[in-house]
Structure 1
Amino acid sequence: MFLGTHAPKLDDKGRVILPAKFWDELSSGLVITRGQERCLYVFSEREFENVHEKIRQAPITSKEGRDFLRLFLSGASQERPDTQHRITIPANLREYAGLGRELTVIGAGSRAEIWDTAAWNDYYATNEAGFSDTAEEVIPGLF
């Protein structure tokens, strides 16, 4: 499970060192793809296969399902960390997420997310109050 907030840096070659807590889960391979809110999703290969299978459940007659599948998979890149636990983020994904040198990597349960730090700070500031006010109706039975 991916947890926590981390602040790695993007190097000049578009590489980032993943947080040590994530190494075991991602060491055998991972998939990076477009996420929502202009971040990147990072899945273990196994979890990506599970997500892909769920997306494939959408009827082919569903335009929304086809659109989501196309955008999700067309941005996907299989990567394998090097011996220093770095992964290369492809240029098209760095551009999509607006990544600069300063990154924020968060654990989001079944995936990690990579954000440009300024974008993460804006997102967090905008959504923190709503998180504090989240009622039971949003996630029934949580509390």
Structure 2
Amino acid sequence: MFFGTYFHTLDNKGRIVIPSKLRAEAGRLVYILKGFDGALSIYKENEFDDLVKEIESLPFNKKNSRDYLRIQLASACQLEVDQQGRVQLPAHLLAKYGISKEVIIIGVGDHMEVWDKTTYEQYEKKVEQDFEKIAENLESHDL
């Protein structure tokens, strides 16, 4: 399970170091793809396989399913974690998500997310203002 918040800097080749506490769980191959709310999502291999199976089980005759399948899987890239624990983030995803230098990596249970530092801080500030309301709403779903 991935959890925690880690502050990192992209190097001049667009690489980040996967935090050591997350690296042991991640393994040597990871998959990066479009996330939600301005984040990139990184999955370890077996979790990515599960995600793909779940996406592929959506009814392809429904437009929303086709759109989701296409966008998610078209954005996916396999990354190899090098000996120093770094991964090369695809330049097109960095540009699309406005990730330039300072990043925040967070653990989100079955995956990690990579955020531009400023974007995440704005997101966190907004969500924390409504955190109690969010929690109350979740309570109605037996969480």
What range is the shorter-chain TM-score in?
Answer: over 0.9
Unaligned runs of 5+ in 1: none
**AA paired with 1:60?**
F
Question: In structure 2, how many angstroms separate the alpha carbons of the residues matched to 1:72 and 1:42?
Answer: 12
Which residue pairs with 2:98 in the alignment? 98
Which residue pairs with 1:141 in the alignment? 142
**AA paired with 1:17?**
V
Which residue pairs with 1:44 in the alignment? 44
Write out aligned runs for 1:43-62 (5 A).
43-62=43-62
Preserved CA contact (<8 Å) 1:44 1:111:
yes
Q: Which stretch of the first structure deviates more once superposed, 131-140 or 88-97?
A: 131-140
Preserved CA contact (<8 Å) 2:28 2:82:
no
Q: Does 1:112 align with 2:112?
A: yes
Unaligned runs of 5+ in 2: none
**AA paired with 2:15?**
R
**AA paired with 2:142?**
G
State the superposition RMSD in angstroms.
1.1
**AA paired with 1:74?**
A
How many residue pairs end up in the alignment? 142
- How far the C-alpha of 1:24 sits from its partner, in A, is 1.4
Q: Normalising by the residue count of structure 1, what TM-score does the alignment of the two structures yield? A: 0.94
**AA paired with 2:55?**
I
**AA paired with 1:46?**
N
Partner of 2:134: helix, strand, or coil? coil
**AA paired with 1:103?**
V
Which residue pairs with 1:17 in the alignment? 17
Partner of 2:41: helix, strand, or coil? strand
Question: In structure 2, how many angstroms separate the alpha carbons of the residues matched to 1:31 and 1:118?
Answer: 24
- How far the C-alpha of 1:132 sits from its partner, in A, is 2.3
Question: In structure 1, how many angstroms separate the alpha carbons of the residues matched to 2:21 and 2:120?
Answer: 20
**AA paired with 1:141?**
D
